[in-house]
Amino acid sequence: MHPNALLDLATDLLRSVLRLDQPADAVVSAFFRQHRALGNRERHAMAETAYAVLRQRLLLAHLAQSGSGALERRLAILAWQGSDSFLRGALGPHEQQWLAQVKTVDRTTLGEKLRHNLPDWLAGALQAQLGEEFWPLVQALDAGAPLDLRVNALKAKREDVLKALADAGIKAEPTPFSPWGLRVDGKPALNKLELFTGGSIEVQDEGSQLLALLTGAKRGEMVVDFCAGAGGKTLALGAMMRNTGRLYAFDVSGHRLDNLKPRLARSGLSNVYPAQIAHERDERVKRLAGKIDRVLIDAPCSGLGTLRRNPDLKWRQSPKAVQELQAKQQAILASAARLPKSGGRLVYATCSLLNAENEEVVAAFDAEHGRDFVRLSPAELMREQGVERADELVSAECLRLWPHRHGTDGFFAAVWQRR
């Protein structure tokens, strides 16, 4: 494809992504379905350019002011993630001159807002929580995320999978904390590998693996994954249970549960019962009250812990949305808390970085349900599951994972036992 035609397409893609009315990954996928002739390298350059703009939108919009022509084209030029020679072939002499000029700007002298590229409300909240660790977090969020895999313990051993990946020319290493995890170099196509199609590996962030481990699910138990989504944690729980007992995967979205089906088929699990529920007070939930050994609630949240992968979320969320989510989280936690039997375990988790969705929700639950539930130490529970250096993952008796500290997405969890 001629360089200029590709730059035009990248400009069109950016125009769609920057409407921010849908998740960026969905917009990118839909765009590529409309342009099937694009090769892998072209798709990669365009998608990465769009994500680079989302990551550094304030900075790039500031730098783009000096140019002329369509704003989205200028942004695509400034953020271009393909080859330099290709970009040169797409630019006229004026644009080349302008780009050279912009490259001389010393970005370290720009204001804070243009360096952190976060909306004010979010930057303020994170600075208050992190102090001087705020800037290392910003750097980690900008760097993108590695590809983490979970080895399905029902089908394979981690060292055997490492060897099989190496034989396929894929470099990987064990994750530092999760005993099931592997971190892969780059973004290789895994879905054609026998390891993947045969269900020996699943793509899952190490932090998400640690949430499943916190449940301590065992053989023969009754376990509920309360907000199962596409089921990454459900699959991990099923493997922990060695495919015995009963594992209920609840979600309000039938579409998300449909996405679990092919993964379930690969995994070899037959102890999983996916069920769409109307809301957190559904009849199905009432029927299981007081009967369940372990309940995992990966609550609907702002998703701000996944900004390395989903940088559009920082522009699509708002303080009002977080407030509404907090009310929903409290309702879901209170409802799911009816499920554990005496001595049963309850895990509340989010992939948010914000106190409002994490510590504040837990404090409200403790205030209301402290008579029935006692808090457990996440470090101790993780050590029992073979998690290395578990103490590094805990703050104020909660699991608190940060991209800049732990190399995972941002995750939070608190754990209770019913008295």
> What stretches of 35-142 show up as alpha helix (H) in DSSP?
40-55, 57-64, 71-79, 84-90, 93-102, 112-116, 120-130, 134-142
The residues assigned a catalytic role are 351
Burial of 320 by CB count in 10 Å (0-12 exposed, 13-18 middle, 19+ buried)?
exposed
Rounded Cα gap, residues 20 and 14, in angstroms: 10
- The β-bridge partners of 249 are 225, 274
Rounded Cα gap, residues 42 and 368, in angstroms: 54
Closest to 388 (Cα-Cα) out of 144, 155, 206: 206
Map residue 323 onto helix, strand or coil.
Answer: helix
The conformation of residue 330, written as its DSSP 8-state character, comes to: H
End-to-end CA gap in the chain: 66
DSSP line for 135-199: HHHHHHHHT---EEEEE-TTT--HHHHHHHHHHTT--EEE-SS-TTEEEESS----TTSHHHHTT
User: Which residues have a Cβ under 8 Å from the Cβ of 205 and sit 6 or more positions away?
Assistant: 145, 148, 408, 409
Locate 129 and state its tokens. Answer: 């929580």
**298 annotated to bind ligand:** yes
**251 annotated to bind ligand:** yes
- The β-bridge partners of 294 are 223, 345
Rounded Cα gap, residues 120 and 274, in angstroms: 40
Residue 216 CB neighbours (<10 A): 19
Cα angle value 106/108/113 (rounded, 5°) = 120
Rounded Cα gap, residues 230 and 346, in angstroms: 21
For residue 147, give the amino acid letter: L
- The β-bridge partners of 395 are 398
Which residues line the annotated binding site for S-adenosyl-L-methionine?
251, 298
